[in-house]
Each structure stands twice: as C-alpha cells, then as structure tokens.
Amino acid sequence: MRTGLVVPSAVRPSGRGRHTVGGMTTFVTAAFCLVRDEQLLTVRKAGSTRFMLPGGKIDPGESPREAAVREVMEEVGVDVSGSGQELGRFHDVAANEPGAWVDATVYVADLRPGDDPAPLAEIAEQRWLRLDGELPADLAPLLRNHVVPALRGHRGTDRGAPPSPG
C-alpha cells in the first residue's frame, strides 16, 4: 500500500525536514519498521507520550532511505544499511507537533541474529508490539492508522485489520 502526497506549487521550504503549505507545517521524515518474531519495535521519544517508529527528519542532500538508516543507528543502535525494503509513503497528523502533519517514507526489515536494539539519543523507552494483537491507544496516528495496517498486509498478519473496501 503506497500513498501519495500532492504538494501544491506554493510550498515554502521551512528548514530541515519540513515544508509549509498554506500555513500548515508538514515534517518530511523516514523511518524503519524493525520486526522480530512478528513483533514491531516502537519507541517513545523523551517528552512524548506516543510510541512511533525509529526514524526522523531527512537532512538536506539525504535520500529518505539514507535518513532512515541514519536515524535507526542513532536511536536504537542497529545498522540496517544493507537490509529491508520500502513499505510505502504515508501522511497523517504529527504525534508531537500540534497542528502539523507528517509525510513519512517507511521501510521494513527483519532484525538479524545479534541485532540488539536499545534506546539511545532522545529515545526514552522502547516497546515491542505484536503484529497480530490489539493496538495500544498510545501509538502515533501515522503508525496506528497507516503503517501497522500496511505492515500487517505486507506480512500476511492482518487478522485484526478491518476489511478493505471494494
């Protein structure tokens, strides 16, 4: 499931990893779904109450994949540079920025034996989420509304997902 973002020509660059359209800020990000034993690694950044994927804003000159790889290493200490594939591009309200949106390119990789993610940098906590279980209320909207359903479909674990229209 890939979703697109239509960006009008009146987009104003607003600095690292964001742009403004009609007064609304959109953070352009990249992240990785790190999966082990049909569980997804989620993280909570310091000062936040929402769990999300390891990832962050794209630096100037970086591709979304390069940013996602860099952020995963910085936030949980796992090198995913040679693994994974794109899951899709998703857009929803930002979890930690009131009145803002997030436009995320998301990748997925199975953790290898020996990969041992641990909270680093601004990460206050990490938690494993069962892909076939109920979703907790404290997930970021992008994760809850788009990424987990797409990941369940991608992995064939969409038992808890609503039926698709059509």
- Domains of the chain in start order, with CATH, are 13-152 (3.90.79.10)
pLDDT, position 17? 62
- Alpha-carbon distance of 49 to 26, in angstroms, equals 20
Task: Name every residue whose Cβ is closer than 8 Å to that of residue 68 and which is 6 or more positions away in sequence.
Answer: 30, 31, 32, 55, 80, 105, 106, 107
Q: pLDDT for 63-93, tens place per residue? A: 999 999 999 999 999 999 999 999 999 999 9
pLDDT, position 97? 86
Would you give per-residue pLDDT tens digits along the chain (166 residues)? 334 443 333 333 445 566 665 568 999 999 999 999 999 999 999 999 999 999 999 999 999 999 999 999 999 999 999 999 999 999 999 998 888 999 999 999 999 999 999 999 999 999 999 999 999 999 999 999 999 999 999 988 654 444 433 3
> pTM for the full model?
0.83
Q: Are 164 and 150 in contact (CB under 8 A)?
A: no
